Amino acid sequence: MRLLQRGYRVTGLARDFSKFPCADPNFTPVCMDLSDLDALPAQLDALTRQDTPVDGLVCCAGSGRFGSLEEFSLVQIRTLLDLNLTSQLYLVRALLPGMKQHAGGNIIFMGSEAALAGGKRGAVYSAAKFGLRGLAQALRQECAASGLRVSIINPGMVQTEFFNELDFRPGEAPDNYILPEDVAQAVQLILETREGTVIDEINLSPQKKVIRFPKPGEN
């Protein structure tokens, strides 16, 4: 919403827009399941055939699953990596040629504090986010000559529905978590930074890191 309020034209990719009903004329919803890698190439090809040039790409699709490595099935490992890393590669690969043609723009990846340091019960998730951070760093060098800027934002625990299916969540005090608005502000900062300057990486952390483990039935 922040970008729409500032007059940007935004195209959103998601499986379900029912949780984000938006009637803004500058918003275009495109239903797409980024976890379905078999269907993704044809859908992305259709997207790139649209006449509207892409000036900015924010790659923020992802999901979390945590546990010791041996607790993951092979299917669960692949599912997590497909959405959190491989789908981002597919998406950027599809849109990159057009963005380079227009000699400018931004690609912003949504990393995580898990991209900075691996943690207990986070091997698969960290592997995906470390990969995403490496992708951002490599593309930063590949795209500089084209005038295309590449950045990554690494948030700590953000107070969202991300934790609904997990057995832990941030503490309840306001300094125990980040708000989605904080991340949106970082995105805006990257997009509106003076041309010729790149913000390579932004790390966002709650002032106090508190993790709680609610009992079954508690919020």
pLDDT of residue 94: 95
Indicate which residue of 8, 90, 125, 177 is catalytic. Answer: 125
Pairing between β-strand 211-212 and β-strand 169-170 as defined by DSSP bridges: antiparallel
Q: What is the pTM of this model?
A: 0.92
Contacts with 5 (C-beta within 8 Å, 6 or more apart), sequence order: none
Is 177 assigned a catalytic role?
no
Give residue-wise pLDDT tens across range 163-182. 777 788 899 999 999 999 99
pLDDT of residue 203: 97
Contacts with 8 (C-beta within 8 Å, 6 or more apart), sequence order: 26, 56
